Structure 1
Amino acid sequence: MAILKFRVYFEEDDSVYRDIAIRHKQSFLNLHEAILKAFEFDSKHQATFYRSNDQWQRGREITLEPYDKQYRAAPLLMKETTIGSEIKDTNQRFIYTYDFTKGWTFLIELINVSKEENPKLTYPAMVRKEGIAPSQYGTKSLLGERFADVEEKYDLTKGAEGFGEEGEEGVDDQEASADDTGTDTGDEF
């Protein structure tokens, strides 16, 4: 059984992407769910795929369900359409749009075809993750966006190299000894 590996780029920043491996007999519904999981989005909104070409033009639509809009050709349904049936060439591309109000758009590119399944994976599977996924609802931390940049750059997780507690114990000891000796620390007016 063929395993297809797709690179799913966040349209607004191509340094943010996820690689997803999926069996060619699995459906676009499976790919839809894998993309949402990979980018940590919920599944509460409308979604559609478009078959695409090298210029990222939108072609035949593969929808979650038929929507109340005009179609040039009747859309295919995600749950009924296998991935392999829509692969027309070795560089096949798709455009994925999620939450039509917000307009989240992802560019999907076939990057590898393999005959070997990895027995350790449950398909579809995210096999590579690059960049920080956008926040679906635009929520920000209390410290704002700048902290996320610093955190990513310096890896501020507890116990990370360079961010331990060494060297901090001497500060209190120095202040205490300065008070004991009567030395002016400059705190009093």
Structure 2
Amino acid sequence: MIKIRATLESNEVVIRELIIDENLTLEDLHRLITKNFNLGDFEMASFFQTDCDLNLGCEISLFDTSQTIGESLVMNQVIISTLLYSSETQLIYVYDFLKMWRFHIQYVEKVVSLENTNLYSIGKMPSEAPKFTFESDKKKGEYDSFREEFDDFDEFKGYEY
């Protein structure tokens, strides 16, 4: 059994520490998270591997959405302990791709077996998902050679629509 911390990325503090068998799959972890955060069972979700700076890596989806069957990683094929095994390992969990609920999932520690899977709960889930803008690292006013290539391009030759 391992203890994990799931933190909702929002303006409000919403944290759950959960216990789960590390030999279960990410699909089981997905179910545990949706249960403890009072989320529905019928939305798409994905886990993303991350580095120490939380840069997104490989996606592990709930269903195989690739063109060729078996080409992508699926939650029911990935054992939790292969991704969460030390305090340096973490994941990003995204639930409901329209609302974009994002959670930071961290390994806390290995624990002895406990009956209760929810150790503690801080905060209540907001009624709406927080609004995030995904911006590039490029600063405003920074030189962009791609845009410069098309500055003189006028497909409509001055026609206003």
TM-score past 0.5 threshold: yes
Please, which runs of 5 or more residues in structure 2 have no aligned partner?
131-161
Change (3 A) 1:106 1:137: closer
Change (3 A) 1:94 1:100: same
Where 1:35 maps in the other structure, the secondary structure is helix
2:85–2:107 contact (8 Å) kept in structure 1? no
C-alpha separation between the residues in 2 aligned to 1:22 and 1:88? Answer: 12
Counterparts of 1:79-118 in structure 2 under 5 Å? 79-87=76-84, 89-114=86-111, 116-118=112-114
Counterparts of 1:112-151 in structure 2 under 5 Å? 112-114=109-111, 116-118=112-114, 120-121=115-116, 125-135=117-127
C-alpha separation between the residues in 2 aligned to 1:136 and 1:75? Answer: 30
Please, which runs of 5 or more residues in structure 1 have no aligned partner?
139-189
1:10–1:17 contact (8 Å) kept in structure 2? yes
Q: Kindly report the root-mean-square deviation, in angstroms, between the aligned alpha carbons of the 2 structures.
A: 2.1
2:3 matches 1:5: yes
C-alpha separation between the residues in 1 aligned to 2:77 and 2:83? Answer: 12
Q: Aligned residue pairs: how many?
A: 127
1:24–1:84 contact (8 Å) kept in structure 2? yes
Larger radius of gyration: 1
Which digits, 9 at most, give the CA deviation of each residue in 1:135-172, with x for residues without a partner?
2589xxxxxxxxxxxxxxxxxxxxxxxxxxxxxxxxxx
Change (3 A) 1:97 1:137: closer
1:60–1:75 contact (8 Å) kept in structure 2? no
C-alpha separation between the residues in 2 aligned to 1:85 and 1:14? Answer: 31
Q: How far does residue 15 in structure 1 lie from its aligned partner after superposition? A: 1.9
Match of 2:38 in 1: 40
**Taking every aligned residue pair, what percent have the same amino acid on both sides?**
25
2:90 matches 1:77: no
TM-score (norm 1): 0.61
TM-score (norm 2): 0.71
1:39–1:134 contact (8 Å) kept in structure 2? no
